[in-house]
Chain A
Amino acid sequence: MTAESTPSTPRTLEARNLVKDFRLRSGLKVSTLHAVKDVSFTLEAGRTIALVGESGSGKSTIAKMLARLETPTSGQILLDGKPASRSGRDAAAYRGDVQMVFQDPFASLNPFHSIAHHLERPLKIHNPGIGRAELRKRTLELLDRVRLSPSDRMADRRPHELSGGQRQRVAIARALAPGAQFIVADEPVSMLDVSIRLGVLNLLAQLQREDHLGVLYITHDLATARHFSDEILVMYRGDIVERGPADTVILDPQHDYTRTLLGAAPDPENQGMLRDEVRRELSAGRP
């Protein structure tokens, strides 16, 4: 594990002026969709940035660019101030440092392989020449860290024997396997049952403290974004329209879109308000 204690200058993952355009073809017409327009931010080790916005706002495109699954149209991704390279040894090193946790734990694990296999692969790739006993030991350690116990029994299971929350913890362990310092979590709990969401988020937060990880938490749940992160970036149609410390963005939103998002978030404090509002509207004769 790269359980480094806090280094004097924290490691950083920086997105600088990232732009991503997609070409859309409809018959002979070609149009361009600006999925991400000039986005910059810096993620420091040990900190969490939440990226919120509705579907189609470009959040996942940013995640994919950071995970090297998508090439930016322009702009740079810098790891510790150095541009991340696209090929060769440096690219492999980048992948060792930046890993992703996907939204759907039912789709992101291979039903054919055991849990152990999912963790052994990254361990082997990033530690060439690792012995079999050591491999097993590290695999079980990872499972213990994400609290899948007894780890020796869990290791030999297959994904279909696990619940959604357990699978997502396997996905987190897999992201940690190469010794990643930065985790890009794309809606990591939105597919999970409400009663276990907080548990998985807490686990991620604890691993973050232990390993001093930098986490980019992508979500549309503003409540967890506020409690789970240091900084919130609000995205709308490819632009970051508001950014700031988590509490400030939620409690004192400046941009109209942030207000819309906040207004759309369910809040039990508003019990009955929507009903009364609708009744007023109807009695006022509006359609």
Chain B
Amino acid sequence: MTGDAVLTATNVSIEYEVDPPVKAVRNVSLTLNRGEILGLAGESGCGKTTLAYGMNRLLKPPALMTAGEVVFHDRTGEDIDVVALADEELRRFRWDKVSMVFQGAMNSLNPVINIRAQLFDVFTTHRPDMSKRQKQQRSEELLELVGVDPKRLTSFPHELSGGMRQRVMIAMALALDPQVMIMDEPTTALDVVVQRGIIREIMRLREKLGFAVIFITHDLPMLIEISDRIAVMLQGEIVELGMATDVYRRPQHEYTKRLLSSFPSLRGERGDFVRTGAQSVSATLGPSATLEGGAA
């Protein structure tokens, strides 16, 4: 299942053209293999979302990809240069080949139209020759796939719980049978129990449908648990990339070690890092705490 690449990014640099310019992503190269889950970890502001947007050509000014190339390797064997795609081609490419579950996905559904209309929208745009009946059938199928009662098609987003809305978002991302799904903090706003259900669903669907996932989150323990490989980002660069077990057992970079140590272990030894003296308070608040306040 793994082995051949589905998405390759080479030397990607992305800048926010504000004054002074912000180099959000610096010279990042990343290969996503077919069917794998690649975890992208790092704290807020490290550029992980920007990189994901870049790979899907979703950047809006002032963000600009200043260098690098992104190539999508289609199932059919065709290679698509994502950076060079223009208007109509780009529109067809997005969602069809690479789909996305956005950060705060719970709030990315349109509150004034029902779920069916939003799912139909995807088909109307990308599969114009589908009949209404086919759309209906496919929509029901999708909801069933993600574990939501198909009867909820006529519901409005506010009538669904957070977890269900998230599942609907995933159904929507699956609608066109994409080969890559980018998930940007898909479960951050959810409860642990619901989160577990959704993660399980994603893993199950991945096995069944064989898409590759780029999973972006700052929850490193969860990433280690579910990913095949993990990339750790710091200030726009990937500082460590490796198999999940290696990143966990033998972290190479200082930053990875620090990130790992900021999660107390659930069942392990009772560490002394919490409830310790003043020294460790300033140590754990870290250098970023004393920096001039930026966006968090």
Give chain A's interface residues, CB within 8 Å of chain B: 54-55, 147, 149, 157, 161-167, 192-203, 205-206, 209, 220-224, 226-228, 247, 250-251, 260-275, 278-279, 281-282
| Cross-chain pair count, CB within 8 angstroms | 163
In the complex, the 10 A-B pairs of residues with the closest C-beta atoms, listed nearest first = A164-B296, A266-B222, A199-B285, A264-B196, A268-B224, A199-B284, A162-B293, A163-B296, A266-B221, A205-B275
**From residue A218, how far is it (CB to closest CB) to chain B in Å?**
13
Report whether B262 and A226 are in contact in the complex, using a CB–CB cutoff of 8 Å: no
CB distance from B267 to the nearest CB of A (A): 6
B221: nearest chain-A partner, CB-CB: A266
User: Which residue numbers of B lie inside 8 Å of A, CB to CB?
Assistant: 43-44, 162, 191-196, 199-200, 203-204, 207-208, 218-222, 224-226, 244-245, 248, 258-259, 262-267, 270-271, 273-278, 280-282, 284-286, 288-296
**Is A161 in contact with B224, judged by CB distance below 8 angstroms?**
no
Q: Which residues of A contact B195 (CB under 8 A)?
A: 264
A195-B43, A197-B262 known; A268-B274 Cβ under 8 A: no
List, sorted by A's number, 26 A–B pairs whose CB atoms are closer than 8 Å.
Answer: A55-B162, A55-B191, A147-B281, A147-B289, A163-B288, A163-B294, A193-B296, A195-B259, A195-B262, A195-B286, A196-B288, A199-B281, A202-B281, A202-B284, A203-B281, A220-B192, A224-B274, A227-B270, A261-B192, A263-B196, A264-B192, A266-B224, A268-B220, A271-B245, A274-B199, A278-B204
Residues of A within 8 A of B274 (CB): 198, 201-202, 205, 224, 227-228
Q: A56 — nearest CB in chain B belongs to which residue? A: B191
Q: Which of B203, B226, B286, B296 has the most CB of A within 10 A?
A: B296
Q: Considering the chains assembled together, what is the distance between the CA atoms of A275 and B213 in angstroms?
A: 14
Closest Cβ neighbor of A52 among chain B residues: B192
Is A266 a contact partner of B267 (Cβ separation < 8 A)?
Answer: no
Using known A-B contacts A54-B192, A274-B226, determine if residue A265 contacts B281 with beta carbons closer than 8 Å: no
Query: Do B191 and A278 touch across chains, with their CB atoms under 8 A apart?
Result: no
CB contact under 8 A between A149 and B220, given known A227-B264, A275-B203, A282-B204: no
Residue in B194, B264, B277, B284 whose beta carbon sits within 8 Å of that of A226 in the complex: B264
Contacts of B220 in A (CB 8 A): 194, 268
User: Which residues of chain B have C-beta atoms less than 8 A from A228's C-beta?
Assistant: 274-275
Report if A265-B266 is in contact (Cβ < 8 Å); known contacts: A54-B191, A196-B289. Answer: yes
Are B281 and A268 closer than 8 Å at their CB atoms?
no
B245 to chain A, nearest CB (A): 6
Least Cβ–Cβ distance between A201 and chain B, in angstroms: 6
Query: Separation in Å of the A149 CB from the closest CB of chain B?
Result: 7
Q: How far is the CA of A203 from the CA of B196 in the complex (A)?
A: 30
Residues of A within 8 A of B162 (CB): 55
CB distance from B230 to the nearest CB of A (A): 10
Nearest-neighbour CB distance to chain B for A14, whole angstroms, equals: 24
Shortest CB-to-CB span from B60 to chain A, Å, is 22
User: Which of B193, B264, B267, B286 touches A260 (beta carbons < 8 Å)?
Assistant: B193
Q: Shortest CB–CB separation between residue A34 and chain B, in angstroms?
A: 19
Q: Are B273 and A198 in contact, CB atoms less than 8 angstroms apart?
A: yes
Nearest CB in chain B to that of A164: its residue: B296
List chain A residues, Cβ under 8 A from B284: 196, 198-199, 202
CB <8 Å contact, A271 and B282 = no
A196 to B160, CA, bound (A): 33
- CB–CB A163/B295 < 8 A: yes
B residues in contact with A223, CB < 8 Å: 263-266
Return chain B residues, CB-CB under 8 Å to A247: 270
**Residue from A196, A197, A268 within 8 A of B248 (CB atoms):** A268
The answer on a CB contact under 8 Å between A268 and B296 is no
Task: Contacts A163-B291, A194-B219, A266-B224 known; list 20 others, CB within 8 Å.
Answer: A54-B192, A165-B285, A193-B296, A194-B262, A195-B43, A195-B259, A199-B284, A202-B280, A222-B192, A223-B263, A226-B266, A251-B267, A261-B193, A268-B220, A272-B244, A274-B200, A274-B203, A274-B226, A281-B204, A282-B207
> Which of B196, B281, B286 makes the CB contact (< 8 A) with A206?
B281
Q: A220-B192, A264-B193 are in contact. Are A278 and B207 (CB under 8 A)?
A: yes
